[in-house]
Amino acid sequence: MKDYKQIKSKTKGPIITIMGGIHGDEICGYKAVEYFMQSITSVNKGTLNLVIANQLAITHDKREVNYNMNRIFRDNLPEQIKDTYEYKRSLEIKETLDQSDILIDLHSSVEGSQPFIICEENGLEIASCVNVKNILINIDAFHPGSTDGYMNNKSKIGICIECGYKKDPESTNFAISAVESILAKLGLIDSDLKINKYKQDVFRSEYIYTAKSNEFVIPEAYTDFDIVKAGDIVAMDGEASVRFKKHYHILFANHKAKKGDEAFLLVEKQK
pLDDT in tens, 190-248: 987 666 777 899 999 999 999 999 999 999 989 899 999 999 999 999 999 999 999 99
How much of the chain, in percent, has pLDDT values that exceed 70? 98
What does the alpha-carbon distance between residue 30 and residue 32 come to, in Å, rounded to a whole number? 5
The one-character DSSP state at 195 is: P
Helical segments of the chain, H only:
27-39, 55-59, 85-98, 124-127, 147-153, 169-185
Residue 113 has a pLDDT of: 86
Four-point Cα dihedral 84, 55, 89, 86, nearest 10? -30
What does the alpha-carbon distance between residue 72 and residue 138 come to, in Å, rounded to a whole number? 18
pTM above 0.85, yes or no: yes
Residue 199 has a pLDDT of: 87
pLDDT in tens, 132-165: 999 999 999 888 999 999 999 999 999 999 999 9
| SS3 of the chain: helix, strand, coil, percent, to 5 | 25, 25, 45
C-alpha of 241 from chain center: 30
Angle at which helix 169-185 crosses helix 27-39, to 10 degrees, equals 50
Residue 195 has a pLDDT of: 63
